[in-house]
Structure 1
Amino acid sequence: MNWNNSFKKLTTFVVVLSSVLVSCDDEFSTVGSNIIGDVNFNDSSYTAIPKAYSKRFERVQVNNLPNNLLGVYEDTYGTSTYTVLSQMQLGTQNPTFGTNAELDSVVLTIPYFSTETESTTNDEGEVEKKYRLDSLYGTDPVKLSVYQSNYFLSSFETNGSPDDRKVYYADDIKANKTLIEGTLLAEQAVFYPQKDEVILRVKDGDDEGDELDVVRQAPRLRLKLSKEYFKTLILDKEGMPELSNSNNFNNYFRGVYFKVAPINGKGSLLQFNINQADITLYYTYDKEQTTNGETTTVQEDKEFKLNFGNSGIILNGIENDFTEGILVGESVVDGLIDGEDNLFLKGGQGSYGILEFFTGIAKDAEGNEITNGEGEPMTELEYLKEQEWLINEANIKLYINQDKINSGEAEPERVFVFDADTGAVLVDYIADRTNNDNNPVNSRISHLGRITRDTDDKGEYYKIRITQHIINLLNGDTENIKLGISVSQNVNERSIRDASVTPTSPEDQKDIVPSSSLISHEGTVLYGYGENVPDDKQLKLEIFYTAAKTN
């Protein structure tokens, strides 16, 4: 009987069942003996040691990310400063503002990510709400400056094919700072996002008299801008080419730049969706109305919006001041033959880890090379493909080097695994039924386990299950790819971006970075596999399988 073919046919069924049994458990539990019985089969395990090293980025693509970061963040790696440059879009093309239009006010608004925590009704019958700010990191304020940019953001490459989309990198803002820091529109010497709801008193055309209505909004930044400046910039351009279409407007009003600076060397970081932001021009104009045959002129209230993002270009600038000896002054790609003691994972313009499995010669328990029928050494992958194993589970435990990081809340909750050459996710990601689009922190947790913490809330390890990937590899259904490991702010975000790496990186590696890592500011350090790594923390792949007894 051909056990190898029989096992391969059963593999997919058993793995599906076993994944159900182990998906909620932190430790492996065997299933082979429960399914088949222990008369003819044994449960066992195999340990594979990868070649592991880090890949550091000099430049990363930062145009039109899923979310944007603004502020200053400090961790083990050093200090990162995030700025934002965005095109503006006309709320209405070729607008008509009316007769004798006069600006009352101009307000820039950026809503924060927030969650309502309480709702009560006051004595006036008004519903008052309390909020918690989400995606705010740090407790120190920053200096915020808002500029009108003079730097033209193009959608297409000027020197390439007309169809080549323009790629912008994190350091493009720094390189063009003179143009980008154009006209100062607003400034807050001390800025820190507040969780209080915003209370506005506005006119309501349906009300009689001059009583104002109360409008309550979720937490947001509101900055008043110069009426005189925007009258000249926008209202006085009515009917002119500058406001006639998007292309003309993007060349005329080239964008808004949000710049931040630390205060006394400290700051905080805010993640937000700039597509929800706008600049609103509140104005009045003369309107004729007829009552009982008599025509009079009254002042009508109206507003005109300039929207951020949407179909426009948004850049997230990143400037790093990393600590000497972490990613600066320490080669992160030395020792590629045996791998490194540590893997450096840092979001933004940082780094991620590379794992290469089954690249060496197969050896037995005594360290002797395993040969084939012709006496030639077998590769580890060749040896494993010949085994008559039914794979129950394959997982990697990525232990955290607490001696090199600031532990606790600053540790990333999730890591992301992908094909290091193409950016594609693994088959285990696709098959993971724990996906949750509305709650990324608890999504894909069977494949990409959340951080496991000790009693002091320090991170211990991440457990990554790649069972189906290993089954497909040993069955010859997929190639032996390099795996990338990065920090992730949102494991549901699967897109990739361009990047350029350090000159010492292996030349055969394609330069990519996951978007989920780019929008993450956090970093961590994982143990690799080397003589300086504690035995119980060493990086390895464990394959749990069922095999027929040999006697």
Structure 2
Amino acid sequence: MRFKTFEKLSIFLFSVFFLSCDQDYNTLGADLVGDETFAFLGGEDKSSSVTINDLDLGPVQSNNLPINHLGLLKSDYFGETTASFVTQLQLETAEPVFGTGIEVDSVVLSVPYFSTKLSTNTNGRGIYRLDSIYTNTKDYYTDFKSDKLPTFNLEVFRNNFALNSYDVNDITKNAKYYSDQESILNVVVGEKLNNAVNSNENTNFKPNQAEFEKPKVDELTQKLLPIKYNPENIAERLSPRMRLHLDKSHFENSIIKADSRHLISNSAFVDYYRGLTFRASGNGEVMMGLDFKKGDVTIHYKQDKADNKGKEMKTLVLKMTGNTLNVLKHSKSAAYSSALSSDVPTDNLFLKGGQGSIAEIKIDQALIDDLKNKGALVNDASLYFTVDPNFVNSLSSSNKSFYYLNPMRLYLFNAEKTRSLLDYTNDITKLTNFPKKDKYVHGGILQKVNGKYMYRIRLTDHINQIINDKTGTYTNVRLGLAVAESIYITPEAQGLSAISALKNTTNILKSIPSTTVISPLGVVLGGMQGENRVQFKISYTKRN
């Protein structure tokens, strides 16, 4: 009877906590960080039963990621990352038929940015804020105006490296390419393609938050109609996007005038043309997260009408839906290199996305055995991680700059099998209009508690699963803690496509969740020592 009473009380307390959390999150709206949306629930401090250390990932598998990065980002704590990109091109329509008298009018590369529409002005133009833009220009985060962003040198070339779909040594396995394969960026054909006079499209490139207004075409002259003072000539309004004018003669000679056998199918086309290489360089500090698969290259050309009475405008679209590779060149800072090479527990943990680092967590088997012997029912088991205050200060010219440069979420996973924990699977909580904060009972979300920035992650179900197992199926595996871009880019949600192999494996770690590869951010946490050390707390009931 006593156990049933406690069980009812636990359910009631959890319901109160759940509702209060839900209320807090709804009032947060689009804020990235809330104040004290969780509380320390007490329980026994078992921090001494946990061992944590940094793991340098080295090169990570980075082909065919759902999100890729392009640009440069510097950090006093982590060093400098340069992200470049390679993609195959594919024909939107295979075996195109061209007429006579062809004149290429323009060739435009277009990739939409992640963005949020804030409003519409009196002229009907949409006002946008760009998302997934990262920069150390902290003033940018005060109003998110793209004119405050620095520039970098962007070069686009025809790629001549074959990105295979399958392993050449075993065609039953998918091909793997790694973040350190920088030599692929140099396997190109010809000169730079984005050679427009406007330097904003090459040597002084930066993202632009302006809505793109697509003009109508005059049916008689087949020319674009002016839209500057003629809004009626706007055919379509599109969200902000990267738009680069590419070399017309290259695409006329390489595509329009290509042997028709190269255009008969996409397999033939990819074997012939390969795709594009995007190379970033310079001193600008801005990194863009992009879904290149939504991008394309459109060749606008004129050809003779069938009746030979004038010209008609046509387009040929090349999609970026083939195989891809994100190349990440990372130059570590001295402090970061030192932390990763140390075998001694330190005051800090360094977690970094991309070709970065995770933390390996081991729970003492003696604690597991003790809970088993007591017949314990664990009501709550949580890990608490505190962001190093010095790291917070280094990012904060304002609260906004810290919120956007610090990872919103950490992800705890089974490091031996690259799987989510049972707590992740069981948590079905959702936050309306903000899916990155779903599964908030399991946690791992950045929060502010008593003036400190923290992450709390529940592993209650994971611990109960181990101590209640009678078959030996569920064991005390080592855990991994990583920066996460999205809580849904996991093996459970997306299968093997959400797992990235390591080039340099260990006895324990062979792969990592791709969600950490696609995050450019890093965070410094308190380690095993000091005032901000990691805490592990457990509350449990002994069964009668």
Mark yes or no: TM-score above 0.5: yes
| Kept in 1: contact 2:63–2:323 (CA 8 A) | yes
In the alignment, the residues of structure 2 paired with residue 261 and residue 465 of structure 1 have an alpha-carbon distance, to the nearest angstrom, of 41
Partner of 2:463: 470
Distance in 2 (alpha carbons) for counterparts of 1:340 and 1:11: 40
The question of 1:325 aligning with 2:335 is answered: yes
Say whether 1:177 aligns with 2:185. yes
Report the CA distance between 1:208 and its aligned residue. 11
- Secondary structure of the structure 2 residue equivalent to 1:538: coil
Letter in 1 for 2:466: L
For residues 445 and 501 of structure 1, what CA distance do their matches in structure 2 show? Answer: 33
**Could you tell me which residue of structure 2 aligns to residue 403 of structure 1?**
390
Aligned: 1:26 with 2:38: yes
1:343 maps to which residue? 349
Query: By percentage of residues, which structure has more helix?
Result: 2
- What one-letter code is carried by the residue in structure 2 that aligns with 1:191? F
2:305 partner SS: strand
Q: 1:491 aligned to 481, 487, 493, which one?
A: 487
* Alpha-carbon distance in 2 for matches of 1:11, 1:202: 70
How far off is 1:120 after superposition?
Answer: 3.2
**Aligned-residue offset at 1:234:** 0.9
Aligned partner of 1:60 in structure 2 is 60
Given candidates 265, 269, 274, the residue that maps to 1:249 is 269
Listed as ranges, the matches of 1:267-346 within 5 Å are: 267-289=285-307, 297-308=309-320, 310=321, 312-326=322-336, 328-332=337-341, 334-335=343-344, 339-346=345-352
Displacement after TM superposition at 1:333 (Å): 5.7
- For residues 291-344 of structure 1, the C-alpha deviation after alignment (integer angstroms, 9 at most, x for no partner) is xxxxx6342211110111x2x111111000111131x24444614xxx544322
Residue matched to 2:234 = 214
What's the counterpart of residue 387 of structure 1? Answer: 374
Encode CA deviations 1:108-129: one digit per residue, 9 max, x unaligned. 111111111111343xxxx221
For the pair 1:500 / 2:503, whether they are aligned, the reply is yes
Amino acid at match of 2:354: G
Cα distance between partner residues in 2 of 1:59 and 1:208: 50
Partner residue in 2 for 1:189: 203
Q: Determine the C-alpha separation between the residues in 2 that align with 1:197 and 1:253.
A: 32
- The whole-number CA distance in structure 1 between the counterparts of 2:275 and 2:7 is 53
Q: TM-score, normalised to structure 2's length?
A: 0.82
Structure 2 unmatched ranges of 5 or more: 22-36, 136-148, 196-201, 227-232, 396-401, 491-497
State the percentage of identical aligned residues: 28
Give the Cα–Cα distance (whole angstroms) in 2 for the partners of residues 510 and 199 of structure 1.
49
2:171 aligns to what SS in structure 1?
coil
- Is 1:355 matched up with 2:353? no
Supply the AA of the counterpart residue of 2:276: V
How many residues matched?
A: 481
Matched residues in 1 for 2:281 and 2:482: separation?
27
Instruction: Tell me the TM-score normalised to structure 1 length.
Output: 0.81
- d(CA) in 1 for partners of 2:223, 2:163: 47
- Alignment partners' CA distance in 1, 2:185 and 2:267: 23
Q: Structure 1 residues 224 and 479 mapped into 2: Cα distance closer, same or farther (>3 Å)?
A: same
Does residue 103 of the first structure (1) align with residue 98 of the second (2)? Answer: no
Shift of 1:522: 0.8
Q: Distance in 1 between matches of 2:500 and 2:385?
A: 25
**Secondary structure of the structure 2 residue equivalent to 1:232:** helix
Once residues 360 and 223 of structure 2 are traced to their aligned partners in structure 1, the CA distance between those partners, rounded to angstroms, is: 69
> What secondary structure is seen at the aligned counterpart in 1 of 2:419?
coil
2:417 equivalent to 1:422: yes
What's the CA shift for 1:272? 1.1
Question: What is the Cα deviation at residue 170 of structure 1?
Answer: 0.6
CA distance in 1 between counterparts of 2:274 and 2:391 reads 43
Q: Is the 1:150–1:182 Cα contact (8 Å) retained in structure 2? A: no
Match of 2:434 in 1: 439
Alpha-carbon distance, 1:454 to partner: 6.2
Distance 2:126 2:265 in 1: 40
* Counterparts of 2:352 and 2:509, CA distance in 1: 19
From the superposition, tell whether residues 249 and 548 of structure 1 become closer, same or farther in structure 2 (CA, over 3 Å): closer
- Aligned counterparts of 1:299 and 1:161: Cα–Cα separation in 2: 51
Seen in structure 2, the aligned counterparts of structure 1 residues 331 and 211 have a Cα distance that, compared at 3 Å, is closer
* CA–CA distance in structure 2, aligned partners of residues 524 and 250 of structure 1: 40
